[in-house]
Amino acid sequence: MKRICFIGNICLLAICLGACRLGKQYTRPDLRLPEQIADVPADTTSVQDIKWSELYADPVLQQLIRKTLENNKDMLMAAAKVKELMESKRIAKADLLPKVDAFIGGEREYDASPGNTFEGKLLASWEVDLWGKLRWANQAAVAAYLQSVEGRQALRLSLIANVAQAYFELIALDQELTIVKQTLEARREGVRLAKLRFEGGLTSENPMRQAQVELAKTQTLVPDLEKSIRLKENQISLLAGEYPGVVERGKSIEQQQLMATLPVGLPSQLLERRPDIRQAEYRLKEAHAKAGVAFTNMFPKFTLTGHYGLESTEFSNFLRDPYFLVSGKLLTPLFNMGKNRAQWRASKAVKEQEIYNYQKVVLKAFTEVSNALISSQKSREIRKAREHLENSARSNLDLATLQYINGVISYLDVLDAQRGYFDAQIGLNNAIRDELLATVELYKVLGGGEE
């Protein structure tokens, strides 16, 4: 009974001593956030309420995104990293608890008086967390695990945006190739008409030669665009975790409709929506916890050990000779040339770096949002201007063609009108693409949304 009370008192003392922890709790650095993001009035709604499948309505694009999220190799590696750090977190948690091992053995001595020894015992050991070292280590492991979770989420948002951007660029290239081929037909017809008028003595040879030059220049655009299309398809295939091949298309670039505006939300919401910001903060929390570990390393370490065993020289009497042992060990650093204190100072310097890194990530996020908002707004204005220019250029070409047929103007004037219309078509196609890409970028930098 006295033995049980003695053991109980030791355990109770260890628990009481382990309840304290040295070091300050983590607090988020003061960021002095602006009252609103990029001069946009504060709004409680955010893009987190908008699923990516609601934003990207093209079924083919949706399928490409899902395939990418399932098969992309970076995504699969990130998932495996999460599994690894989940187990590391469990290892750190296990260090907080007692460890029990079992041992069974037998030996025979061959000397002046040979004999047998049979032994079986349970060994229990527990490092009493006097100063919170193991709890700090557990917090560091949890923070590292959560970093991997946020890193995977950041990669997920980036992949969704990359696939959408590459897809819009691909169908924009398709449309550009269509414009070029239509222009080629117009150029061939122009050469035919110029040749007829030259052979009929109505014009000199110069308009015909100029028409042939314009035809040849336009023909050079086709293989370059076809190359760009194939390279873009390969890029999308790589993102989707597949070998190079043809990528299916859905709606044309002109049929793509994304939301005209996206809710920006409150500045504080951006900290919680952006996984890269959350990841940076978990890195800071890990550094803070590791600094706590380094600080507690300068204090004594207390370990409790318990043995319960059976030992006998005769196997038949093995169960009749139990023994029990409880011991405690106190190990304290005395002299190591300031190593522990240097490690603590180094860990504090790492924490200071992570504070600045966290602040930098937040600043970068707000800058990206501001840039994306400007790009989104201006790309809409550019598209409207390009639409007006394309309509004007088409009307000018129609008028120039009619005047040329009636002999009012020369063919060189028609060529100028054709070049103007071609440039206007390409400019409008690029403006539509850029508006879509700006929306994709804005959705990503605002934190996106889940499926």
Mean pLDDT for the chain? 87
Does the residue 154 lie in any domain?
yes
Residue 1: pLDDT band by 50, 70, 90 thresholds?
very low
pLDDT confidence of 255, banded at 50, 70, 90? Answer: very high
Instruction: Give the CA angle between residues 293, 298, 302 to the nearest 5°.
Output: 85
**Spatial CB neighbours of 110, under 8 Å, sequence gap ≥ 6:** none
CA distance 133 to 116: 44
Residue 427 to residue 384: CA distance in whole angstroms: 11
Whether residue 121 lies inside any domain: the answer is: no
Please state the rounded mean pLDDT for residues 231-248. Answer: 96
* DSSP secondary structure code for residue 21 in this structure: -
- Are the CB atoms for 190 and 414 separated by under 8 Å? yes
Domain carrying residue 50: 34-101+131-302+342-445
In-domain check, residue 223? yes
Residue 122 lies in a domain: no
Mind listing the pLDDT tens digit for each residue in 144-192?
A: 999 999 999 999 999 999 999 999 999 999 999 999 999 999 899 888 8
Amino acid at 257: Q
The tally of domains found in the chain comes to: 1
Taking the C-alpha atoms of residue 320 and residue 322, their distance in angstroms, rounded to an integer, is 6
Please report, as a single letter, which amino acid is at residue 42: A
| Residue 437 CB burial class (10 angstroms; 0-12, 13-18, ≥19) | buried
Question: Rounded to an integer, what distance in angstroms lies between the CA atom of residue 426 and that of residue 248?
Answer: 23
Would 266 be classed as within a structural domain? yes
What is the C-alpha to C-alpha distance for residues 96 and 22, in angstroms, rounded to an integer? 16
Task: List pLDDT tens digits, range 338-353.
Answer: 888 999 999 999 999 9
CA distance 389 to 253: 18
Work out the angle between the directed axes of helices 133-199 and 275-296 (0-180°, nearest 10).
150
Q: According to the model, what pLDDT value does residue 443 have?
A: 95
Domain membership flag for residue 289: yes
pTM for the whole structure: 0.87
User: Comparing 173 with 304, which gets the higher pLDDT?
Assistant: 173
How far apart CA 295 and CA 7 sit, in angstroms, is 30
First to last CA, the chain: 62
Q: Assess if residue 200 is contained within a domain.
A: yes
pLDDT at 434: 97
CATH (domain of 384): 1.20.1600.10
pLDDT of 389: 97
Instruction: List, as one string, the DSSP characters of 355-403.
Output: HHHHHHHHHHHHHHHHHHHHHHHHHHHHHHHHHHHHHHHHHHHHHHHHH
> Do residues 426 and 176 lie in contact, with contact meaning Cβ atoms separated by under 8 Å?
yes
Render pLDDT for 336-389 as a digit per residue (tens, 0 to 9). Answer: 788 889 999 999 999 999 999 999 999 999 999 999 999 999 999 999 999 999
403 neighbors 409 (Cβ within 8 angstroms)? yes
**Residue 388: inside a domain:** yes
| Helix (H/G/I), strand (E/B), else coil: 323 | strand
